[in-house]
Structure 1
Amino acid sequence: MLLLALDTATPAVTVALHDGETVVAESTQIDARRHGELLLPAVHRVLGEAGTALDAVTGIVVGVGPGPYTGLRVGIVTAATFAAALSVPVHGLCTLDGIAYAAGQAGMEGGFVVATDARRKEVYWARYADARTRVTEPAVDRPAELPADVTALPAIGAGAVLYADAFGDVRGELPQHQSAAALAALAAEKLRTGGEFLPDRPLYLRRPDAQVPANYKVVTPQ
C-alpha cells in the first residue's frame, strides 16, 4: 500500500505519502490564496523525498471539505485526475475528520468540536465523540449562533481560534489546519478495518462567493 493524500480545503496546502504503516514524507504550506500554484510542486517534493515515482501509488486520499469553493476544488480535481491516470481508487474523507484525527494523535481525548474558518464571519464545524467518531454532519454557521452544548465543548481548529469569544474552551495548541499526514493515517486505518469513505465530491455547504448578476444587460449584435 502506498497512499498519496492531499487536501486544499483549508489554508493549508498539504500532501503526504503513507505506506500503510507510517508516513513516508509530507509537506504542508499555509497559504489561503495559492492552492493551485503550490499543490503540484508539493506532490513532486513529497515524491522526491520519498524516493518514489507517482506510478508507485496504489490509492489517492483527498479531503473533500467542507471548504471554500475555489481552494477545495483544486485538491479534488487533482486527486481525481491522478486516480484516473493511475487507474487507482480515490478515497474521500471529510476535512474536519482529518483535523479531529490529528488532535487525537496529539493527545486530545473525549468529546470536542472542530471548527475551521468558512469566511463571511462563519465557521465550518462538526461535533466529535472522540478523534475517530463524528456525531454530527458537517455544517456552516455563525459562531454566535452555534448551540450552547457545542460551544461549551473543547474546540479545535482555526475557526475556533479566530472566534475564541464564541467558544468556551479553545485548544489553540492543537492542530488548526488540515494535515495530509493525519488524513493519510486515518485512511490507512479505515482501509485496514473496512471503514467507509466519501465520494470525491466537494462538501461546499453553501453557494460560491462568485454569482451571476441577477439583473444584467444583455448586449446583442445589431
Structure 2
Amino acid sequence: MLLLAFDTATPAVTVALHDDSGVLAGSTRVDARRQGELLAPGIVDVLRAAGRTRFELTDIAVGVGPGPYTGLRVGIVTALAMGDALGIPVHGVCTLDALAYAARRDGTVEGPFVAATDARRKEVYWARYDDAGERVEGPGVDRAAELALGAVRVAVGAGAALYPECFAEVRGPEHPDAAALAGFAASRLAGGRELLPAEPLYLRRPDAQVPAGYKAVTPSGPRP
C-alpha cells in the first residue's frame, strides 16, 4: 500500500504519505485562508521528499470534516479528481477521528475524552471517544457550554482551546495532522474495516443563502 492522506477541514493544510511501514513524509501549514493555494504544492513536496510519484499511489484518504464549506471542498474535490485520474480508491476519514488518533498516538490522553475543532459562531465541531479511542458519540456542532458530556471533561483540539472554561483539562494537539489521518486510515483498511465515503460532513447549512422573495429580472430589448 502507498496511501496519500490530506485534510483541509481546519486551518491546518496537512499532507502525508504512508506505506506498510509507516509515514514516509509529511507537511503541515496552518493558514485558514489559503487551502486552495497550499494543498497541491504540499502534495508535490511530500511525494518528492519520499522519492515517490503519484503513479505509485494505491489509495487516497481525505479528511471529510466536519468543517467549513470552503476548506472541505478543496480537499475532497482534489482527492476525488486524483482518484479518478489515477484509477485508485478514495477513502473518507472524519477529521475529528484523525485528531483523536493523533492525541492517542502522542500519549496526550488516557481514558475517555472529547475532540473539538472551531466551528465559528461561538460553536465547536465535536465528538466523544472512549478509553480505546473509538468514537462513541458525534460528530455534532454545538456551543461548548451546552455539551452534555457527563463525567468526560478532558478535551483536545483548537475548538476546546477556545473555551477552556467548559472543560476541566484542555490538551493538544490543536489541529489534526495527515500523518495521524494516514495512520488511522491504514490501520482500518488493514483490519478490513470500512472508512467513510469521500463526501463532506456538513453539520449545518452554509452561510450563503439564496435571498427569499427576490424578483426575477427579464432582459428588455426592442420588440420585433
TM-score range, shorter chain: over 0.9
**Alpha-carbon distance in 1 for matches of 2:197, 2:42:** 24
Shift of 1:132: 3.4
SS of 2:116's equivalent? Answer: strand
| 1:161 to 1:18, Cα distance in 2 relative to 1, 3 A | same
Matches within 5 A, 1:1-222: 1-107=1-107, 108-130=109-131, 132-149=133-150, 152-171=152-171, 174-222=172-220
Shift of 1:161: 0.1
Once the two structures are superposed, residues 49-75 of structure 1 have per-residue CA deviations (whole angstroms, 9 ceiling, x without a partner) of 011111111000011110001100110
Shift of 1:218: 2.5
The answer to whether the 8 Å contact 1:103/1:131 transfers is no
Computing the radius of gyration from Cα coordinates, the structure with the larger value is 2
Once the two structures are superposed, residues 142-190 of structure 1 have per-residue CA deviations (whole angstroms, 9 ceiling, x without a partner) of 111111516x42010000001111222111xx21111000000111111
**Alpha-carbon distance in 1 for matches of 2:91, 2:174:** 23
SS of 2:127's equivalent? Answer: strand
SS of 2:196's equivalent? Answer: coil
| 1:184 to 1:129, Cα distance in 2 relative to 1, 3 A | same
Once the two structures are superposed, residues 42-98 of structure 1 have per-residue CA deviations (whole angstroms, 9 ceiling, x without a partner) of 001101101111111100001111000110011011011111111111111110000
Q: How many residues align?
A: 219
SS of 1:130's equivalent? Answer: coil
| 1:39 to 1:217, Cα distance in 2 relative to 1, 3 A | same
SS of 2:10's equivalent? Answer: coil
Is there any run of 5+ residues in structure 1 with no aligned partner, and where? none
Shift of 1:124: 0.2
RMSD: 1.2
The answer to whether the 8 Å contact 1:15/1:28 transfers is yes
Aligned residue type for 2:120: R
**Alpha-carbon distance in 2 for matches of 1:165, 1:130:** 23
**Alpha-carbon distance in 2 for matches of 1:105, 1:124:** 21
**Alpha-carbon distance in 2 for matches of 1:204, 1:57:** 28
The answer to whether the 8 Å contact 1:100/1:131 transfers is no
Q: Which moved more, 1:102-111 or 1:128-137?
A: 128-137
TM-score by length of 2: 0.94
**Alpha-carbon distance in 2 for matches of 1:2, 1:53:** 10
**Alpha-carbon distance in 2 for matches of 1:87, 1:130:** 38
The answer to whether the 8 Å contact 2:99/2:175 transfers is yes
Is there any run of 5+ residues in structure 2 with no aligned partner, and where? none
TM-score by length of 1: 0.95
**Alpha-carbon distance in 2 for matches of 1:211, 1:54:** 38
Aligned residue type for 1:189: S
